[in-house]
Amino acid sequence: MQAEPVLLAGLIEACRAAITANSDHLCALDRAIGDGDHGTNMQRGCEAVSAEEATVSGLPLPEALERIGLTLVMSIGGAAGPLYGTLLIEMGRELRKSGREQDFSLALKQAIDAVARRGRSNAGDKTLLDVLYPVQDALAQHSPLTDIVRRAELSARLTGAMKAMRGRAAYLGDRSIGHVDPGASSCALLTTAICRYLEEHRPE
Ligand code: ADP
Ligand code: MG
């Protein structure tokens, strides 16, 4: 399975642009229930991936995803680095095992479960998992890209009503209620950027 080099390069740039445009907003969300660095952490990660875009987009898709994941672990830092990193590394491993692109949503499910194990977190804990699981579910149901975007955005908003059970926000207990989770929000932004880009550029 070869990565489509132009498509992958475009997706990397779309993600970088979305995070850069929303970095201040992500920091503000993290200031409310964490330490205020989520936007800058994510921006650092996206810039590190962009810097090696030429190398990455020449790799087969599973290897490209693993490489991006390693770069994210090394560059984002904090709690989110190992979690986003695990997501992409495990996606790559799963796709390599199956060797079939149609197993994408299954590979995503396995990768999200690996993130949950890594973070010792579950759906409902007010984390990025609360966007990842609904997005995977929509993908598994072959929902149109516009529906996946809506699902991601709604799921991020719904974390506002949740009580944080993991990460820094968990120290706030009930006081975390009423604030959208920064990781869930970055995850929705990335999902939106990816879906919009695919909608415009997906080969027929
Ligand atoms: P840090 O908390 O180290 O400053 P970031 O601010 O970059 O790291 O990322 C915070 C986000 O990471 C949270 O909003 C949440 O979505 C996610 N997160 C933190 N801890 C966990 C965990 N144990 N499991 C899943 N997600 C987590
Ligand atoms: Mg933080």
Domains of the chain and CATH, by start: 5-201 (1.25.40.340)
Give the C-alpha separation, 13 to 128, whole Å: 21
DSSP assignment, residue 164?
P
Q: What is the pLDDT of residues 90-132, one digit of tens each?
A: 999 999 988 766 588 999 999 999 999 999 999 999 999 999 9
Q: Is the CB of 75 under 6 A from ligand 1?
A: no
Q: Which two tokens stand for residue 145?
A: 């890209």
At 30, the pLDDT band (50, 70, 90 cuts) reads very high
Answer whether 152's CB lies under 8 Å from 108's CB: no
Distance (angstroms) between ligand 2 centre and the Cα of 130 equals 17
Q: Is the CB of 167 under 6 A from ligand 1?
A: yes
User: What is each CA distance from 109 to 15, 84, 97, 99, 162, in whole angstroms?
Assistant: 21, 14, 14, 16, 22
At 6, the pLDDT band (50, 70, 90 cuts) reads confident
Answer whether 132's CB lies under 8 Å from 87's CB: yes
Q: How would you class 132 by CB atoms within 10 Å of its CB: exposed for 0-12, middle for 13-18, buried for 19 or more?
A: buried
Q: What is the pLDDT of residues 147-181, one digit of tens each?
A: 999 999 999 999 999 999 999 999 999 999 999 99
Q: Which two tokens stand for residue 136?
A: 């995977």
pLDDT confidence of residue 101: 61
Q: Which residue has tokens 């809506």?
A: 150
Atom number of ligand 1 nearest to Cα 36? 6
Question: Is the pTM higher than 0.75?
Answer: yes
Backbone angles phi, psi at 165, to 5 degrees: -110, -10
Q: Is the CB of 182 under 6 A from ligand 1?
A: yes
Q: Say if residue 204's pLDDT is above 90.
A: no
Looking at the DSSP bridge assignments, the partners of residue 2 are: 60
Distance (angstroms) between ligand 2 centre and the Cα of 79 equals 7
Ligand nearest to the CA of 80: 1
Ligand 1 atom 4: residue of nearest CA = 78
Atom number of ligand 1 nearest to Cα 183? 16
Q: What is the pLDDT of residues 61-97, one digit of tens each?
A: 999 999 999 999 999 999 999 999 999 999 999 999 8
Give the C-alpha separation, 32 to 179, whole Å: 7
Ligand 1 atom 7: residue of nearest CA = 38
Give the C-alpha separation, 19 to 45, whole Å: 10
Q: What is the pLDDT of residues 10-27, one digit of tens each?
A: 999 999 999 999 999 999
Looking at the DSSP bridge assignments, the partners of residue 60 are: 2
